[in-house]
Structure 1
Amino acid sequence: MTYQGVLTKMKTEFSQPIQYYLVFETDFIHINQLLEKTIRIQFVKHQCLNCGLDKPIFRQGFCKSCFFDIPQAADWIMRPELSTAHLGKEDRDLAYEKQVQLQPHVVYLANSSNVKVGVTRKSQIPTRWIDQGAHEAIEIVEVPNRYLAGITEVALKDHVADKTNWRTMLKNDIADEDLVSWREKLKQYIPDEAKDYFIASNSETNIQFPVLQYPTKPKSLNLDKTPNFEGKLVGVKGQYLIFEDNTVFNIRGSEGYVVAISLV
């Protein structure tokens, strides 16, 4: 049986361990059921997630012209402190920006390769933590818009990391941390505008991933360089498939690529 479709980030179901699903237009694959099986991944073509054309993917699943035009790829996506919808100011599409920016957002701490601070919409918890491969996480602040979350993240990243080391995350070379203590330690650095939104009493969320074998020296699969790959699947963590030969495949980093996936 061969499944073919355009890659988008895997859907997840919060359970212990996390359940992963690769969703195509007319089918889906329950990835957990492929563990310990040899699968083949074949690159077919590109398909921009916005215009649908077979054009080289630039970033985030979009071709270059779409990336610099659509609101889904604007700078405030990656830098929430640049959000302006709360002021009624348009960047690319004010209606879309109001829809996304003017809703509850959470500033959180997650431990995936180290303790890091991040921002996400409240509706994306715990999905955001799962996608980052965090084995523990905690909310610090819940604010009514993306701008307040962004300026809080900017203030806190002077005192804690804001990036994940994907290799360390995949090797699972991670120490447990007391995130409640981290939350209390960072409280003093929250900007005045967001201090009233501090979450004083909550506990860590712990996450287990379906991994049978962690890679010792992860090597990333690039479909442009290796359009045909075959390997035994031994784990899934974050948005990565992990294979027995230390190859790892970042599904989210390959959005917009049409692939054929089959059991060997």
Structure 2
Amino acid sequence: MLFEGVLKKMPTELKEKVQYYLVFENDFLHLNQILDQKISLSFLKFQCLNCGKDKKIFRQGFCYDCFYEIPQAGDWIMKPELSTAHLDKEDRDLEYEKRVQLQPHIVYLANSSNVKVGVTRKTQVPTRWIDQGAHEALGILEVPNRYLAGIAEVALKDHVADKTNWRTMLKNEIEDVNLEETRNKLVEFLPEEVEPYILKNNKETEINFPVLSYPTKLKSLNLQKKLDYSGVLKGVKGQYLIFEDNTVFNIRSNEGLYVRLEIN
């Protein structure tokens, strides 16, 4: 079977095991069905996710020009506390920013390599947790806009991590943590303006990933340097493909690469 197209973040479904899909323009591949099979990947060209041109990808699947122009790559994406739509203040495109920022957001705790705090739109739960490779997660706040979520996250960063150790996550070197107890310890550090939005009775969500075996030593595949790669797919976790030879490939960080994928 042969597939060809631009890489984009994998859509997922939360079931007994997370279901993963690689979606191309005219076709899609259900990755859970090809575990333990050999696949080959080849880099063909770039294709910016915004302009569609064959221009070197800069960040987040966008070429340099698009990254610094389009609202989908504004600083408030990575730093929610910089959101200004609630003040009717434009960054790059106020209509877009109001649509995205002025909707319910969840501040959460997730455990993938360690307990971390994060922010996501309510509509992206549990997708965001799956993308981070979290085996357990818990929403601790539901606020009406992105700014409030951002200032809550900033306040908690002094007391809990805000990043995932991707190596630990992929090796599955994890410990179960009682996230409800962690939440109860952290709420005292929240800003006063978000206290009415605390989710006091939320329960943990448990997530199981389709992985047959975890790597012991990690080799990250750079498809722009190694233009062709073949390996046996042993699992998918977060947005990573995991291969039998300990190679891992991050689909998310390779968005905008146009590839050929063959199941051998």
TM-score normalised to structure 2 length: 1.00
Where does residue 155 of structure 1 map in the other structure?
155
Where does residue 35 of structure 2 map in the other structure?
35
Equivalences for residues 170-189 of structure 1 within 5 A? 170-189=170-189
Tell me, in whole angstroms, the C-alpha distance in 2 between the residues paired with 1:138 and 1:220.
29
Where does residue 79 of structure 1 map in the other structure?
79
Matching residue's letter, 1:186: L
After superposition, the CA RMSD in angstroms is 0.4
Instruction: Indicate yes or no: 2:137 matched with 1:137.
Output: yes
Equivalences for residues 1-264 of structure 1 within 5 A? 1-264=1-264
Deviations 1:164-197 (A, max 9, x none): 0000000000000000000000010110110000
Deviations 1:226-249 (A, max 9, x none): 110000000000000000000000
SS in 2 for 1:155: helix
Tell me, in whole angstroms, the C-alpha distance in 2 between the residues paired with 1:66 and 1:263.
33
Cα offset for 1:69? 0.5
Is 215-224 or 166-175 further displaced after alignment? Answer: 215-224
Matching residue's letter, 1:54: D
Tell me, in whole angstroms, the C-alpha distance in 1 between the residues paired with 2:197 and 2:145.
11
Matching residue's letter, 1:238: G
SS in 2 for 1:170: helix
Cα offset for 1:44? 0.8
Tell me, in whole angstroms, the C-alpha distance in 2 between the residues paired with 1:11 and 1:47.
19
Aligned sequence identity (%): 69
Cα offset for 1:19? 0.4
Tell me, in whole angstroms, the C-alpha distance in 2 between the residues paired with 1:215 and 1:88.
48
Tell me, in whole angstroms, the C-alpha distance in 2 between the residues paired with 1:188 and 1:13.
34
Matching residue's letter, 1:101: Q
Deviations 1:14-42 (A, max 9, x none): 10100000000100000011100000001
Structure 1 residue runs of 5 or longer lacking an equivalent are none
Tell me, in whole angstroms, the C-alpha distance in 2 between the residues paired with 1:250 and 1:256.
12
Runs of 4+ deviating beyond 6 Å:
none
Deviations 1:89-141 (A, max 9, x none): 00000000000000000000000000000000000000000000000000000
Tell me, in whole angstroms, the C-alpha distance in 2 between the residues paired with 1:16 and 1:45.
36
Cα offset for 1:218? 1.2
SS in 2 for 1:152: helix
Cα offset for 1:263? 1.2
Count of residue pairs the alignment pairs up: 264
Tell me, in whole angstroms, the C-alpha distance in 2 between the residues paired with 1:164 and 1:34.
27
